[in-house]
Structure 1
Amino acid sequence: MSENKEKILAISDLDITFKTTAGPVHAIRGINIDLYKGETVAIVGESGSGKSVTMKAAMGILASNAEVNGGKIEFSYHHADGTPKTVDILQKDKKWIRRHINGKRIAMVFQDPMTSLDPTMTIGKQIMEGMIWHFKTPKKEAWDRAVHLLEEVGITDAEKRMKNYPHQLSGGMRQRVVIAIALACNPDLLICDEPTTALDVTIQAKIIELIRKVQRERGISVIYITHDLGVVAKVADYVNVMYAGKIVEKGKINEIFYDPRHPYTWGLLSAMPDLDTDDDRLYTIPGSPPNLLREKPGDAFAPRNQYALEIDDKLEPPMFRITDTHYVATWLLDPRAPKVEMPEELRVRIERMKKEAEEYED
């Protein structure tokens, strides 16, 4: 897949349960994700599908009621002298992770900038904090670097802004500051958890473009967590579609957008707003995500799947291989299953998307 590329993150068979007052919630069920240097991987799915929990596990910031039942999260990086090192984050304690990983080598941009920023500290102090703590950077040097970072993320009058407090900035500017904080220690991996949800559409596009620009210039790897396939189309190399704590389809961006095979992926693509359609209805996937307190046998998506087979209520589908990079977990791909095509409206839409992409490239 990426033979000559350096793998920086390998999540294998990750399985997590949360203890709650109502009972155990089996939130993550056998997740496998690989990420290579300089690549962008998107994790897509409805709220509650386990996207953020997976990445919080990779950051070592799981809630105290989380119990890891199995799996590995191997993160590879280089020491200052260039020697390579690979660690299983699940085997490390919180103190070690805070010292060597959080902010320094893996940084996260959260959904709402106001929950990430300290309202009692100036913007400048918050950007400098990580550099001083991780690298013992002298204050003057940290200040100059923080000003440069604010300029890099597109904030004008950076010197003045350093003395501002978060409430004095707009939502878009606050999110830029959060990105500057994330970049302060030159991380190898940037995790973006719905980084544009709280912003209006014009600012969303600017933040996405900013993250892409930073990635190009610094050669870092990025993981996007989102439910918005429109964002995914602009940024990702590979896509993992998650449902009820499992990856149900994974592949290169073109495989997911132009040749989706899982009924859930069909539903997500159909639910994207489309200005060119004659249909005045907005498609929604029927039903609701499952309650993970009550696990059912078989395929978790079966109750919402109009193409569900009898076996879907009994056995969980394995991952069927379409190509070397494209895998799908649905019994519809079993050679014995009846042949089911994607909905006609979606097929027409994909043809139109392909055409638009070709015109754009020309």
Structure 2
Amino acid sequence: MEKEKVLSIKDLSISFNTSSGKVDAIRGVGLNLYKGETLAIVGESGSGKSVTMKAVMGILSSNGEVNSGSINYFYYRNKEKVQVDILKISKKEMRKRINGKRIAMIFQDPMTSLNPTMTIGSQIMDGMIWHYKTPKKEAQKKAIELLELVGINDAEKRMKNYPHQLSGGMRQRVVIAIALACNPDLLICDEPTTALDVTIQAKILELVKDIQKKMNISVIYITHDLGVVAKVADYVAVMYAGKIVEKGTIDEIFYDPRHPYTWGLLSAMPDLDTNDDKLYTIPGSPPNLTQKVQGDAFAPRNIFALNIDNRLEPPMFKISDSHYAATWLLHENAPKVDMPAELKKRIERMLKEAEENGK
């Protein structure tokens, strides 16, 4: 059965005009997402993960400029499939037709995405009343159901609370309830567990997973935490300096990574079974994107860099039908380079663990 496409990003390039000059934040990003699937976008801070998704939501800051590309969103209206290029519709249309109603976003810090002057109940009901003209009584009933769905006890009483009266974990649950209020097809989670402690993090991730199953929605996670990725994703896109440098299924990225940057990210994950007494870090810093990047942006930090990396940008090399990586090491004429030995051992341990857990 053919998979149903929900989102298609092609050759997206975005720059920002800043006091330090023009920053080329996104440099030719391409992605596809299908119904019911979970995609995780990973990379260091500043790699362009959030900017890409803000473009999908139509909420780029005023100094942002889309230089090229398209963001096509597919949905059904009266059983007829509709395709919308998000970059070509007005902000007003975006608010009316897409935001909240079709694509919803959960931001990292619930305290800044909740209105401190409005009750929790009003904030959940708002979208239903605005998008669907839902009668107040009906909206109230659905808001209570949503609070129960996201695991908040005493939902009716909580409707009257203000954000400051709730804990961080409860506020994040409320933000999820607001995002789900209009039954969106696509949920974007921007670092949804950053401000929470580990036990609450696990509960929030489980919650999003359960809701996804019940509602058959597609989910995109933006994160730099590979532990989160391992728990939730079907597919992973690794971003570096405004480009996707590797993409594949969760198993391909975790057990058969091919890009040196992905090797670095996986090596930098804390591991109790390692023999190393130090935690691995990728040397150097990401490039300054106010200056034109010559060749491979990762080359200055890459101990496996080839001469060609300083001159030419690598294309996406195909490894399998679902696995691609942008590194000259995959070229047929490149010298054979294996991943670091410690990472190889770690992957073997991860595979063994997965087998023992029956995965």
Smaller-chain TM-score bracket: over 0.9
State the partner residue of 2:12. 14
SS at match of 1:350: helix
Q: Distance in 1 between matches of 2:345 and 2:134?
A: 56
Question: What CA distance in whole angstroms lies between the structure 2 residues aligned with 1:286 and 1:299?
Answer: 16
**Which residue does 1:240 correspond to in 2?**
237
Q: 1:194 aligns with which of 191, 197, 206?
A: 191
Aligned partners of 2:176, 2:200: CA distance in 1, in Å? 14
Alignment match, 1:46? 44
Matched letter for residue 12 of structure 1: K
Q: Secondary structure at the match of 1:16?
A: strand
- After superposition, the C-alpha distances for 1:323-343 in whole angstroms (9 at most, x for unaligned) are 011000001111111110000
* Separation of aligned partners in 2, 1:302 and 1:115: 37
Q: Does 1:57 align with 2:63?
A: no
**Residue 332 of structure 2 corresponds to which residue in structure 1?**
335
Q: Which residue of 1 aligns with 2:116?
A: 119
Given the two structures, how large is their TM-score scaled by the length of structure 2?
A: 0.99
Instruction: Tell which deviates more after alignment, 16-25 or 257-266.
Output: 16-25
Shift of 1:275: 1.1
Letter in structure 2 aligned against 1:43: I
Q: Which residue of 2 aligns with 1:176?
A: 173
Output the CA distance in 1 between the equivalents of 2:135 and 2:233: 37
1:142 aligns with 2:154: no
Number of the residue aligned with 1:5: 3
Counterpart position of 2:221: 224
Measured after TM superposition, the shift of residue 278 of structure 1 is: 2.2
Q: Which amino acid aligns with 2:5?
A: K
- Output the CA distance in 2 between the equivalents of 1:309 and 1:295: 20
C-alpha displacement of 1:83: 1.6
Q: Please name the residue that 1:353 is paired with.
A: 350
Name the TM-score, length of structure 1 as normaliser: 0.98
1:69 to 67, 70, 84: 67
Q: Does 1:263 align with 2:260?
A: yes
The letter of the residue matching 1:304 is R
Q: CA deviation at 1:187?
A: 0.1
What do residues 208-237 of structure 1 show as CA deviations (whole Å, max 9, x unaligned)? 000000001100000000001110011111
Letter in 1 for 2:127: G
Q: Distance between the aligned counterparts of 1:280 and 1:199, measured in 2?
A: 28
1:296 to partner: Cα distance: 2.6
The secondary structure found in structure 1 opposite 2:9 is strand
| In 1: Cα distance, 2:5 partner to 2:275 partner | 45
Partner SS state of residue 361, structure 1: coil
In 2, the alpha carbon distance for the partners of 1:26 and 1:169 equals: 40
Cα distance in 1, alignment partners of residues 141 and 272 from structure 2: 46
Which residue of structure 2 aligns with residue 297 of structure 1? 294
Structure 1: segments with no counterpart, 5+ residues: none
Structure-2 residue corresponding to 1:316: 313
Matched, 1:133 2:130: yes
Establish whether residue 23 from structure 1 lines up as the match of residue 21 from structure 2.
yes
2:97 is equivalent to residue 100 of structure 1: yes
Aligned-partner residue type, residue 159 of structure 2: M
In 1: Cα distance, 2:274 partner to 2:198 partner: 21
In the alignment, the residues of structure 2 paired with residue 290 and residue 309 of structure 1 have an alpha-carbon distance, to the nearest angstrom, of 18
For residue 72 of structure 1, what is the amino acid of its counterpart? Answer: S
Deviation at 1:11, TM superposition (A): 0.2
**1:202 partner SS:** helix
Count of residue pairs the alignment pairs up? 359
Instruction: Look up the equivalent residue of 2:256 and give its one-letter code.
Output: D
Q: Using the alignment, how far apart are the partners of 1:78 and 1:47 within structure 2?
A: 35
In structure 1, how many angstroms separate the alpha carbons of the residues matched to 2:79 and 2:325? 38
Q: Alignment RMSD, CA only?
A: 0.8
For residue 48 of structure 2, what is the amino acid of its counterpart? Answer: G
Deviations 1:38-65 (A, max 9, x none): 0001100000000000001011111111
**Distance of 2:277 and 2:136 partners within structure 1:** 58
The alignment partner of 1:140 has SS state of helix
3-state DSSP of counterpart to 1:335: coil
- Counterpart of 1:208 in structure 2 is 205
Deviations for 1:55-82, whole angstroms, at most 9, x for unmatched residues?
Answer: 0101111111111111010000111x22
SS at match of 2:29: strand
* Identical columns (%): 75
Q: Distance in 1 between matches of 2:282 and 2:168?
A: 31
Who is 1:85 aligned against?
A: 82
Give the C-alpha shift of residue 295 in structure 1: 2.2
Q: Distance in 2 between matches of 1:355 and 1:200?
A: 28
Q: Give distance in 2, aligned partners of 1:275 and 1:205.
A: 19
Instruction: Extract structure 1 runs of 4+ deviating beyond 4 A.
Output: none
Q: Following the alignment from structure 2 to structure 1, what is the Cα–Cα distance between the partners of residues 200 and 292?
A: 40
Structure 2 gaps, min length 5: none
Question: Using the alignment, how far apart are the partners of 2:220 and 2:135 within structure 1?
Answer: 31
